[in-house]
């Protein structure tokens, strides 16, 4: 895996949109992103270009319009980003972050069961490795 330069905040926003809407032209991404925050079309364009330069997206001309597609998978980017955060904020130990999330941010009732299951599963697996 070639190691790409990390995504900046703004780039991340655009990448997220791209994951959500799938392959799309500048116009589309701009519109989708505009629902979250105000931004110029040309700005979105620049981000998309940089995304491609950094290896997180590809593009190809479809007729007159350039269509961008996410290349890196969200899962991967998320992992890299979170890894970095955990390193920086907690010296690599993820438990404090989990604790923080559960304590400080509301977890939906309906998610609690899922969590419990996750934990049980880990418990079983961990019990034998």
Partner DNA sequence: TTAGAATGCGTACAAATGTACTGGGTGCGT
Partner DNA sequence: ACGCACCCAGTACATTTGTACGCATTCTAA
- Minimum distance of a second copy from residue 124's CB (angstroms): 10
Q: Which does 53 bind (CB under 5 to 8 A by kind): DNA, a second copy, none?
A: none
DSSP, residue by residue, 67-94:
EEEE-S-HHHHHHHHHHHHHHHHHTT--
Q: Which does 40 bind (CB under 5 to 8 A by kind): a second copy, DNA, none?
A: DNA
- Nearest alpha carbon to residue 57 among 31, 37, 47: 47
Please give the angle made by the CA atoms of 30, 79 and 108, to the nearest 5 degrees.
Answer: 80
Convert residues 24-63 into a mask of x (bound to a second copy by CB under 8 A) and - (unbound). ----------------------------------------
| Angstrom distance (rounded) from CA 125 to CA 120 | 9
- Minimum distance of a second copy from residue 69's CB (angstroms): 20
Q: Which does 45 bind (CB under 5 to 8 A by kind): a second copy, DNA, none?
A: DNA
| Angstrom distance (rounded) from CA 88 to CA 15 | 23
- Nearest alpha carbon to residue 41 among 24, 49, 51, 29: 29
Residues at the contact surface with a second copy, assessed by CB under 8 A: 9, 12-13, 16, 78-79, 81-83, 85-86, 88-89, 91, 94-95, 97-109, 111-112, 114-116, 118-119, 122-123, 126-127
């Amino acid at each position: 895996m070639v190691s790409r330069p990390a995504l900046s905040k703004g780039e991340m926003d655009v990448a997220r949109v791209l994951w959500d809407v799938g392959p799309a032209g500048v116009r589309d991404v701009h519109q989708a992103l505009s629902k979250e925050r105000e931004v110029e079309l040309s700005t979105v364009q620049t981000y998309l270009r940089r995304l491609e330069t950094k290896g997180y997206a590809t593009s190809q001309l479809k007729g007159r319009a350039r269509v961008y597609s996410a290349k890196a998978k969200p899962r991967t980017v998320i992992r890299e980003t979170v890894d970095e955060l955990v390193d920086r904020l907690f010296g690599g130990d993820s438990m404090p972050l989990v604790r923080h999330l559960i304590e400080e941010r509301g977890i939906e009732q309906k998610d609690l069961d899922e969590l419990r299951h996750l934990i049980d599963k880990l418990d079983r697996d961990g019990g034998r490795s």
